[in-house]
């Protein structure tokens, strides 16, 4: 009778050890901090966007990339632009940006900040080039909505 109990004990111990090894190999725990989004990919394919918190996935070949979703300031340094009456104007612009869709941001461009910077330069040049210097000085606050489009 004692041999049977010893055998059962060792089988149970082997089962627990096997379960622990499988759990360590196939269970992945990810923690995403507040202000970030986690992009979870499985075998190189984007599976889902994880919000802040603790996430557990079972399987192999999972990876998590973090994207900062907090508001960020982007400064477009002095731009020399000609107005409609050919007067040179030097402008500096400060933008507040925030990533809303982390997956789209990563998939759509290699460097989203460079794209925003370039689009801002083009928009400012287009708006200032169509306005005289006098109108620019009197309506500079009203120019902001035109640049946003």
Residues 6+ apart with CB under 8 A from 35: 52, 68, 69, 70
In this prediction, residue 146 carries a pLDDT of 60
Please state the domain extents for the chain.
Answer: 2-68, 72-148
How far apart are the C-alpha atoms of 44 and 128, rounded to whole Å?
45
In this prediction, residue 68 carries a pLDDT of 94
> What tens-digit pLDDT sequence spans the chain (149 residues)?
688 888 788 888 888 887 787 777 788 899 999 999 999 999 989 999 999 999 999 888 999 999 999 999 999 887 788 888 888 888 888 889 999 999 999 888 888 899 999 988 888 888 888 888 888 777 766 666 666 65
CATH superfamily of 72-148: Band 7 domain (3.30.479.30)
In this prediction, residue 120 carries a pLDDT of 87
CA 132 to chain centre: 39
**Whether pTM exceeds 0.95:** no
In this prediction, residue 144 carries a pLDDT of 63
């Amino acid at each position: 009778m004692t041999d049977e109990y010893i055998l059962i004990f060792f089988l149970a111990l082997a089962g627990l050890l096997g379960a622990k090894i499988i759990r360590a190999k196939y269970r992945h725990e990810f923690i995403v901090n507040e202000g970030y989004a986690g992009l979870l990919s499985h075998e190189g394919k984007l599976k889902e966007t994880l919000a802040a918190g603790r996430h557990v996935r079972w399987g192999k070949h999972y990876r998590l990339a973090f994207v900062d979703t907090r508001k960020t300031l982007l400064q477009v340094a002095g731009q020399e632009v000609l107005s409609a009456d050919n007067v040179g104007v030097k402008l500096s612009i400060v933008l507040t940006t925030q990533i809303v869709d982390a997956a789209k941001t990563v998939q759509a461009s290699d460097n989203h900040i460079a794209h925003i910077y370039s689009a801002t330069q083009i928009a400012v040049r287009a708006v200032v080039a169509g306005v005289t210097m006098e109108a620019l000085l009197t309506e500079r606050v009203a120019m902001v909505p035109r640049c946003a489009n």
